[in-house]
Amino acid sequence: MDNTEWTNGFWTGQLWLAYELSGQSHYREAAEAQVGEFSHRIFNRINVDHHDLGFLYSLSCVAAYKLTGSVKARTAAVEAAQVLLTRFLPKAGIIQAWGNLNDPAEAGRMIIDCNLNLPLLYWASEETGDTAFREAANLHIEQARRFIVRPDASTFHTFYMDPVTGAPRHGSTHQGYSDDSCWARGQAWGISGFPLVYRYRRDPRLIETSAQLANYFLNRLPDDLVCCWDLIFTGAPYERDSSAAAIAACGLIELGKNLPLGDPDQQSYQSAAVHILNSLINNYASQPDEPGAGLIKHGVYHMPKGIGVNEYCLWGDYFYLEALTRLTRVWEPYW
């Protein structure tokens, strides 16, 4: 696969996890071999005109730097953070998700998925000492809390801010069922992204928000605990999104870890994650003799457009492996 998609980092991330879990050098060599491609991509600006640089570079180059000390990987990841920072709209206090910054259709649009792109900015701030990365991320996560999260702790997939005045405009969906429904993967990006940002910005409100989102999510699960693709649906005949379940499991573990010691919910969120993972293992994981190309079946990429429905997906597999790693060893996130 050419390194031109938003998803390439999930494969590299799986290789780094496989290396950490097994200690086998061929996984490390395969992951290291991709650092050059990621470096080429960012320095040549190949399809990097969007906010997904955190997904791409945290799991490839930041991971490489953390695990091997690669200077080439660090340089590429800092460059990616710099490109991501160019999408920051100061008046609106957000990172614009998609489109050329002059495109009126995408102007001022933030999306919940961006929570996972912010750790790259915090990491770059720590590495370089340049506080501009951190300040932009601080403002964005606050705007996401205020406007993407609804009063009932569900989330809009996307929310438009006025880039000139900074005023909030309106929420809308892109991959969900409707503007006022709750796209399951978006909710999972929220559950996991707020505590990942908390690792860098010790603001307890981020943990409170993640917990509220988690409660909304957990209250809308089908019997086998693997969510439908939109949380407006709670069971058959609607498609499941196993990738959202895997992302949420990682988020529940990170959330539980960051609750104060002795908080009774610490155990509840950890246990919810274990139950979701058990269901993924027993009901969704591919079997060794099964033809296919992935770890967990029944993911959904984009239901409204009918793309990637009921398929394996790279991000679902990455978070499935990350969740298993988190439950089986002490693990330092690449985020």
Q: State the binding string over 266-305 for ligand GLY (x if CB under 6 A, else -).
A: -----------------------------------x----
Instruction: Return the number of the residue (226 or 259) whose C-beta is nearest ligand GLY.
Output: 226
User: CA 170, 176, 180: angle at the middle one, nearest 5?
Assistant: 45
Task: Give min distance, CB of 196 to ligand GLY, in A.
Answer: 15
Q: Comparing C-alpha atoms, which of 37, 55, 43 is closest to residue 121?
A: 55
Q: Does 185 bind ligand GLY (CB under 6 A)?
A: yes
Instruction: Return the number of the residue (79 or 113) whose C-beta is nearest ligand GLY.
Output: 113
Whole-angstrom Cα distance, residue 168 to residue 159?
A: 8
Nearest residue to the partner ligand GLY, using Cβ: 113
Instruction: Return the number of the residue (19 or 318) whose C-beta is nearest ligand GLY.
Output: 318
Place of tokens 């908390």: 198
Q: Does 145 bind ligand GLY (CB under 6 A)?
A: no
Q: Which residue out of 2, 52, 179, 317 is catalytically annotated?
A: 52
Task: Give min distance, CB of 8 to ligand GLY, in A.
Answer: 13
User: β-strand 307-311 against 299-302: which pairing, if any?
Assistant: antiparallel
Per-residue exposure over 237-264, b if at least 16 CB sit within 10 Å of its own CB, e if not: ebbbbbbbbbbbbbbbbbbbebbeeeee
**Residue 113 bears catalytic tag:** yes
Q: Does 317 bind ligand GLY (CB under 6 A)?
A: no
What count of residues does the chain have? 335
Whether the CB-CB separation of 273 and 254 falls below 8 Å is answered with no
Task: Provide DSSP, 184-206.
Answer: HHHHHHHHHHHHHHHTTS--HHH
Instruction: Return the number of the residue (187 or 325) whose C-beta is nearest ligand GLY.
Output: 187
Task: Give min distance, CB of 235 to ligand GLY, in A.
Answer: 22
Whole-angstrom Cα distance, residue 82 to residue 132?
A: 10
Q: Which residue out of 103, 113, 180, 230 is catalytically annotated?
A: 113
**Residue 52 bears catalytic tag:** yes
How many residues touch ligand GLY under the rule CB under 6 A: the total is 4
Task: Give min distance, CB of 230 to ligand GLY, in A.
Answer: 13
Q: Under DSSP, is residue 222 helix (H, G, I), strand (E, B) or coil? A: coil
Whole-angstrom Cα distance, residue 203 to residue 272?
A: 24
**Looking at 35, 66, 84, 113, which residue binds ligand GLY (CB under 6 A)?**
113
Instruction: Return the number of the residue (284 or 315) whose C-beta is nearest ligand GLY.
Output: 315
As annotated, the active-site residues are 52, 113
Residue ranges in contact with ligand GLY by CB under 6 A: 113, 175, 185, 301
